Each structure stands twice: as C-alpha cells, then as structure tokens.
Amino acid sequence: MSDVPSTTDYADEPTRFPPLTVLDVTAEAAAVTSDYRNQVLARVNTSCLRLAVMTGQYPWHRHPDSDELFLIVEGCLEIDLADGQTLRLNQWQGVVLPAGTVHRTRAVGRTVNLTFENAEAATVFENVS
C-alpha cells in the first residue's frame, strides 16, 4: 500500500450514515476500487463503526486509548502482534485488541472488515523489527 493514511487523515471525513439510516455494508464494500479505504460508516455514542477494505498490509501501530474490535466480512485478515503472534481471521470471525496493543494488519487477497473503536482513536506508528 502506498500513502497509508492514519485515523487523523480521516478526522474531517463525515460519517457516511446518520442515525435512523439503513446502511448496506455489501454495497459500500463493493463500491471501493482502491487497494485501501477506511471510512466511518456510523457513530454510536463515542464509538464508530469503520469499514476497511484493503489489499496488502498496514504498518505497525497502536491505539493508546482505544480497544479495537475487528469483524471480517469478506476474505482473510492476519493481525501480527509485536510479540510474534499472528491472529488469522476468516469471514465472520472477529477479535478484540486491547488499547495499546502494537499490531499490523495484513490482508490475504482483498479483505473487507468492520472495525469498532473510539471515534477519536489516535494512531501511533511503531518501528517493529
């Protein structure tokens, strides 16, 4: 992936679907033609639902103040942890990463996932060997 955006790059992006609006995750995912897209679909209290569509990998990072829930809708996502462990998630599998967990995500082919996190979650990039 080139020009990997962070969550701060999306800070001014409007929420795609306001309350009481039906959202179609399948249609939203199908509309993404780039190798990477991460967008806020909806907000719930102080959290948000993000749709991430990706091919390739996102750099090592952590979210210091936010847990992160991944739910795979399509494809396979591998999440490498700084301790050497890799979590492999297939369609309709999910996992919660506690706040501060250093990780990187790697799509095996094209992957579509939903992510639940604090709406203002900071992303801190890390150098992991």
| Every domain of the chain and the residues it spans | 7-125
Please give the chain's pLDDT, 129 residues, in tens.
546 666 566 666 789 999 999 999 999 999 999 999 999 999 999 999 999 999 999 999 999 999 999 999 999 999 999 999 999 999 999 999 999 999 999 999 999 999 999 998 999 999 997
Residue 105: predicted pLDDT: 98
CB 73 within 8 A of CB 99: no
Q: Which CATH number fits domain 7-125: 3.40.50.2300, 2.60.120.10, 3.40.640.10, 1.10.1740.10?
A: 2.60.120.10
Rg (CA), the chain: 14
Threshold 0.95, pTM exceeds: no
Residue 43: predicted pLDDT: 96
Residue 13: predicted pLDDT: 74
Burial of 111 (0-12, 13-18, 19+ CB in 10 A): buried
